[in-house]
């Protein structure tokens, strides 16, 4: 099963105001056993792209194709059964659990259309155990579980219909470091052992680069870089990716403040002319202020949308050293 988004744009018309496009011309492909990370900060459009990917909202232009068919944007009961193989785990998933219903019953929600009732309980227990939790939790209420456990129950609900592709929106955000490590390992395991394809949406590049095979970076509605995870981390191409990597403080240095990125993201309804990142880019030159770069293939299957970096074929710049203060 493959999910392919081609040149997808989402635009909202607004009465009396400029139209707003949270996503512009994005493309991505999900395949079984592969984890694709989608990173970017607030307002970049990654959550919107996630919702386009599962057909919760229809693209204004471009296509979303699941196994060769256009993904239909319809209500839950009209959705063709085969589309159940594509599932989503939403942001603040633990908050999506009904506090008054037992865990087992909520997991079984994903089985009601396709599997006989007599199998539900056994299957729910099997899924919980697959996610590293005791099967006895099937009779618990969400309030009796820790944050990390609730997050895994939310993932269990998405696994109930035996999906082949999973889209997860910030699955690690509300978890402590240890629970993050646990859930991250689990997602990798689901990809490797069970062959699930995944789109992992997150603002935390340091965890995503560990878990994902491939990473897409978004800025103000555009995909600005698309590379294998390791290469992206070791030799980022896009100046925004460099900034994201450099901004994260690390326990590996002491009393070294990460350099701030000047300026603010700006209004997606009124993006800057030319390259959308140019007002904040340390390498900006003339062309950047007037012409929008396009996502271009550079060496080794990597893509970047940058006049500086796509005009050279090889040798992307290495990450510069952080500023040392005091």
Residues within the interface to other proteins (CB under 8 A): 41-42, 146-149, 176-182, 184-185, 188, 203-207, 209-211, 233, 243-244, 247-261, 264-265, 325-326
Distance in angstroms (rounded) separating the CA atoms of residues 186 and 188: 5
Nearer to other proteins, 121 or 210 (CB): 210
Nearest approach, Cβ of 49 to other proteins (angstroms)? 17
Nearer to other proteins, 102 or 230 (CB): 230
User: Read out DSSP for 98-150?
Assistant: -TTS-HHHHHHGGGTTTS-GGGHHHHHHHHHHHTTS-GGGGG--GGGS-HHHH
Nearer to other proteins, 128 or 184 (CB): 184
Query: Are 142 and 92 spatial neighbours (Cβ–Cβ below 8 Å)?
Result: no
Q: Within 10 A of 198 (CB to CB), how many other CB atoms are there?
A: 26
Distance in angstroms (rounded) separating the CA atoms of residues 73 and 30: 19
User: Read out DSSP for 172-240?
Assistant: TTTS-HHHHHHHHHHHHHHHHHH--EEEEEES-HHHHHHH-SEEEEEETTEEEEEEEHHHHHHS--SHH
- Give the HSE-up count for residue 202: Cα atoms under 13 Å, Cβ half-sphere: 24
Counting every residue written for the chain, the total comes to 326
Distance in angstroms (rounded) separating the CA atoms of residues 55 and 52: 5
Nearest approach, Cβ of 199 to other proteins (angstroms)? 18
Nearer to other proteins, 32 or 258 (CB): 258
Nearest approach, Cβ of 213 to other proteins (angstroms)? 10
Nearer to other proteins, 83 or 225 (CB): 225
Nearer to other proteins, 148 or 221 (CB): 148
Nearest approach, Cβ of 47 to other proteins (angstroms)? 14
Nearest approach, Cβ of 244 to other proteins (angstroms)? 6
Nearest approach, Cβ of 202 to other proteins (angstroms)? 11
């Amino acid at each position: 099963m493959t999910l392919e988004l081609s040149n997808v744009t989402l635009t909202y018309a607004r009465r009396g105001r400029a139209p707003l496009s949270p996503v512009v011309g994005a493309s991505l492909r999900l395949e079984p056993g592969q984890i694709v990370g989608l990173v970017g900060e607030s307002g970049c459009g990654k959550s919107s792209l996630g919702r386009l990917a599962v057909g919760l909202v229809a693209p204004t232009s471009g296509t979303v194709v699941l196994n060769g068919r256009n993904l239909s944007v319809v209500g839950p009961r009209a959705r063709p059964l085969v589309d159940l193989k594509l599932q989503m785990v939403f942001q603040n998933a633990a908050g999506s659990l009904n506090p008054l219903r037992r865990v087992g019953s909520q997991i079984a929600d994903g089985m009601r259309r396709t599997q006989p009732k007599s199998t539900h309980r056994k299957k729910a227990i099997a899924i919980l155990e697959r996610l590293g939790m005791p099967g006895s939790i099937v009779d618990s209420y969400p309030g009796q579980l820790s944050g990390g456990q609730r997050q895994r129950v939310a993932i269990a609900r998405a696994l109930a219909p035996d999906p082949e592709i999973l889209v997860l929106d910030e699955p690690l955000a509300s978890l402590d470091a240890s629970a993050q490590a646990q859930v991250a390992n689990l997602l990798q395991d689901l990809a490797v052992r069970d062959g699930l394809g995944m789109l992992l949406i997150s603002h935390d590049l340091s965890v995503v680069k560990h878990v994902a095979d491939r990473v897409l970076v978004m800025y103000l509605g555009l995909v600005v870089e698309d590379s294998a995870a390791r290469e992206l981390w070791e030799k980022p191409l896009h100046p925004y990716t460099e900034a994201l990597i450099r901004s994260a403080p690390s326990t590996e240095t002491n009393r070294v403040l990460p350099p701030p990125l000047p300026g603010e993201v700006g209004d997606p309804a009124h993006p800057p002319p030319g390259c959308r990142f140019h007002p904040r880019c340390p390498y900006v030159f003339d062309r950047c202020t007037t012409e929008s770069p396009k996502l271009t293939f550079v060496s080794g299957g990597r893509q970047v949308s940058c006049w500086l970096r796509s005009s050279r074929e090889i040798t992307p710049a290495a990450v510069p050293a952080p500023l040392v203060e005091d």
